[in-house]
Structure 1
Amino acid sequence: MRKDLATIGSTILFRGFEEPEIQQALSCLGGTVREFMRKEVIFRPGDILDSAGIILQGQVLLCKESMEGVRFIFSELGSGEIVGETALRATREESGYEAVAGTECRILFIQIHKIVRPGGHTCSLRARIIENMLALLLENNRTIYQKLDLVSHKSLRARILHYLTLQARKNNAPQFVIPFSRNDLADYLTVDRSALSRELQRMAVEGLIRFSKNQFELLYPYGTEVLSRPRKLSNR
């Protein structure tokens, strides 16, 4: 567990905590590390969660399914982020989505109800953890608004460019690796996988992007989103 303290300390939930304080908080909250294989379900819609998970290693995809049975990904979480935030609520509620391991991952599940709904012993760090929990919920809201902004784009190309521009800004470089396979990217953009592949090829021919599998390079200024470029004959 000691080797994971840096990752735990990087989460919003433990922001501003020194290592001894993190250890103290974890002793109050308890904690169990679980490992998941790629595509393994972590929890399903309808599950009532009593533990929030800190991702120590790997990637977690948060998914929903439409009434027609179409799956889409509405968020992707990585090392240091928290999954299962419904466990942070004062009332026990069902999860409204599915969490799936996007890669092999390790997750530390903590009994957050011991802070939210303490019984006898109250952790001396309770107030600070609750303050950070509010910051976490605000961050989750920001992520939801980002996804709404993405799907508000009507055209497939606009969605692709919006997503790739955000990734370039996040990495502060025009070259980056996205955390999705082609199928997962289609689910995240809520578009058809074949249509996505065709549009990526067109964008490469037109000189907008260069890519190989999940490695991308933007060939336009990523401070703005460009919907067209003079056509080129190769993806060099």
Structure 2
Amino acid sequence: MPTISLFTDILPEEQERMRVCFQAREACFQNNETIFEYASSMNKIGLILSGRAVLYYCDEEGNQYLIDELRKDAVFGEPFLLPTESQNYYVKAEETTRVMFIDYAHVIKRCENACHHHSQMVSNLLQMIALQSRQQVQRIYVLSRTTTRKKLLAYLESLSEERQSREIRLPMSYTELAGFLSVDRSAMTRELKNLEQEGILKKKGRNITLKIGER
């Protein structure tokens, strides 16, 4: 999967000018602190400068679901997920996390000079939206599998393809993975043990080596 950030192909000196032009502001958040709550209008774009955060969805009963993990150069905000007023999405820091916020209006409104770097940022933003859409389609495919085993294998295969390696490291804890896959933690642990005994994968902590494809 191609790597792209909001400032791809934009020179450092141009980035500094854009920070001023877009009235960007930076903030630091501690572990478990709420970084951002989604609204039904497109107001802000957040860019992870360092650290790790997670996008969650909370239903009407107060159940929390992990939707996506956000690391350095990841972006979030209403343009990437436009919820309705009844949907509660929010981003929380999982460790000390530094974030830059940009007003969405400054991104889509061309400046008088029609700067090349402004056009490049809009192009980057559109590509990032497309990539996130592809990731969501992949997740829908994983969640549509009918068993815990099939969900696990589909997810691990997608990670393997993304990183172009049969040796992968889970980007989240096993508890978070169970939530991400919408499966029971104990059932998932049993399936991982079965897959290891069958020689389909080898596991050491969060490091997993895929031996063969799905049976």
Give the TM-score normalised by structure 2. Answer: 0.83
Kindly indicate which of the two structures has a greater share of residues assigned to strand. Answer: 2
Q: Where does residue 55 of structure 2 map in the other structure? A: 62
User: What's the secondary structure of 1:13's corresponding residue?
Assistant: coil
Q: Give the Cα–Cα distance (whole angstroms) in 1 for the partners of residues 101 and 4 of structure 2.
A: 13
**Change over 3 Å in CA distance of 1:159–1:134 after alignment to 2:** same
**Change over 3 Å in CA distance of 1:68–1:202 after alignment to 2:** farther
Which gives a bigger RCO, structure 1 or 2 (Cα 8 Å, sep 6+)?
Answer: 2
Q: Give the Cα–Cα distance (whole angstroms) in 1 for the partners of residues 173 and 80 of structure 2.
A: 31
Q: Is residue 2:16 matched to residue 1:23?
A: yes
Q: Where does residue 226 of structure 1 map in the other structure? A: 214
Q: Number of residue pairs matched? A: 210
Q: Is residue 2:70 matched to residue 1:77?
A: yes
Structure 1 unaligned regions, length at least 5: 1-9, 228-236
Q: Deviations over 1:73-106 (max 9, x none)?
A: 222222111121x1589x9x86852212233322
Q: Is residue 2:12 matched to residue 1:12?
A: no
Select the residue among 141, 144, 147 that pairs with 1:155.
147
Q: Give the Cα–Cα distance (whole angstroms) in 1 for the partners of residues 30 and 112 of structure 2.
A: 36
Q: Give the Cα–Cα distance (whole angstroms) in 2 for the partners of residues 123 and 186 of structure 1.
A: 47
Q: Where does residue 181 of structure 2 map in the other structure? A: 189
- CA drift of 1:47 comes to 7.5
Counterpart contact for 1:13–1:129, Cα < 8 Å: yes
- CA drift of 1:45 comes to 4.6
Counterpart contact for 1:150–1:159, Cα < 8 Å: yes
Q: Deviations over 1:54-78 (max 9, x none)?
A: 1112222222234454332222222
Q: Give the Cα–Cα distance (whole angstroms) in 1 for the partners of residues 74 and 107 of structure 2.
A: 19
- CA drift of 1:188 comes to 0.7
Give the TM-score normalised by structure 1. Answer: 0.76
User: What's the secondary structure of 2:128's corresponding residue?
Assistant: helix
Q: Is residue 2:30 matched to residue 1:37?
A: yes
Select the residue among 166, 179, 186 that pairs with 2:171.
179
Q: Give the Cα–Cα distance (whole angstroms) in 2 for the partners of residues 11 and 32 of structure 1.
A: 21
Q: Deviations over 1:117-171 (max 9, x none)?
A: 57x9777344333333222222221121111111111111111011111222222
Report the residue type matching 1:70 in the other structure: N
Q: Give the Cα–Cα distance (whole angstroms) in 2 for the partners of residues 212 and 40 of structure 1.
A: 30
Superposition RMSD in Å:
2.8
Query: Quick one: percent identity of the two aligned structures?
Result: 23
Q: Give the Cα–Cα distance (whole angstroms) in 2 for the partners of residues 97 and 70 of structure 1.
A: 12
Counterpart contact for 2:48–2:74, Cα < 8 Å: yes
Q: Give the Cα–Cα distance (whole angstroms) in 2 for the partners of residues 168 and 110 of structure 1.
A: 33
Report the residue type matching 2:211 in the other structure: L
Select the residue among 94, 109, 128 that pairs with 1:102.
94
**Change over 3 Å in CA distance of 1:157–1:47 after alignment to 2:** same
Greater Rg over alpha carbons, structure: 1
**Change over 3 Å in CA distance of 1:67–1:191 after alignment to 2:** farther
Report the residue type matching 2:11 in the other structure: E
- CA drift of 1:43 comes to 2.1
Q: Is residue 2:133 matched to residue 1:141?
A: yes
